[in-house]
Amino acid sequence: MHTARVLAALFKINVQQELAYRADTVANMLVSLMWLAWELTGLAIIFSNTASIAGWTFGDLLALSGMWRLLNAFMQAVVFPNTEKFNRGIREGTLDYTLLQPANSQFMVSFSRVAIWNLWNVGLALATITIGLLISESRPSPLNVVVFLALTASGGMVIYSLWIVLIALTFWFTKFDNNVTLLAAVADAGRFPATAYPIWLRVIVTFVIPIAVATTVPLQALRGDLPWWQIALALGAGVLAFFLSSRLWQAGVKRYSGASA
């Protein structure tokens, strides 16, 4: 209940911040529409020359584009603003105030700043996934939908945990300002199915920086392409990633000496 109250308070503060700059919010939403149109144009050009990519049709790739947009919405809403705030807090010592608050420090660092307008991107992502499935004439069963939602949450947890690991390294390397640059750069690989990449790149986007776990894998489950053991492995990866990242975060907090050191 305490965490829920803190989350509600943070949500209220972030909504107020968005409402203070309404024109900026509207501009961001229009830019999102522009980028979506650009992505659709790119897909249309590609599929004007081929019927499929690694067995994925236009509808499948459109749905995958929606999954990538869902991941990108998370990164824009949570990862980028809170990374900037965290890095500044480490350098300037303002992180001390966050650690002294009567709430879980990892939770506060993760969600103290959320770009609420990205709910618009979430809506666009869900609409794109739905339209893509309709075009591909895919009819997921209720069980496939449940597994898809579970794997989407698990994949998001893996990406979140990787982010926590990257920013936690700042406790050891203070001037580690580029801590999420690699994550942001590789995120674009989620636009296409992991099976379309050569083996070396497939390994990177699946195990090293597991973008595919948040994009390709849930969609494969929605299409009914994953065996049960891969589903169980993906779900277990989310739980394990969160546990390990939380332990690393706690170790980093214990090492942090504060602004006065």
Domain assignment of residue 184, yes or no: yes
Residue 118's domain comprises 2-255
Domain assignment of residue 9, yes or no: yes
Gap between the Cα atoms of 60 and 46, Å rounded:
13
89 Cβ partners below 8 Å, 6+ apart? 95, 98
- Would you say residue 174 has pLDDT above 70? no
Domain assignment of residue 261, yes or no: no
pLDDT tens, position by position, 200-232: 888 888 888 888 899 999 999 998 888 999 999
pTM of the model: 0.88
Domain assignment of residue 127, yes or no: yes
Domain assignment of residue 93, yes or no: yes
Gap between the Cα atoms of 63 and 67, Å rounded:
7
User: Sign of the C-alpha dihedral, residues 44, 48, 49, 53?
Assistant: positive
156 Cβ partners below 8 Å, 6+ apart? 71, 74, 214, 238
Domain assignment of residue 67, yes or no: yes
- The torsion of the CA quartet 89, 93, 95, 99, rounded to 10 degrees, works out to 170
Domain assignment of residue 260, yes or no: no
Domain assignment of residue 149, yes or no: yes
Total number of domains in the chain: 1
Whether the CB-CB separation of 148 and 56 falls below 8 Å is answered with no
Of 186-190, 215-219, 225-229, 249-253, the least confident: 186-190
pLDDT tens, position by position, 77-113: 999 999 988 888 887 888 888 888 888 899 999 998 8
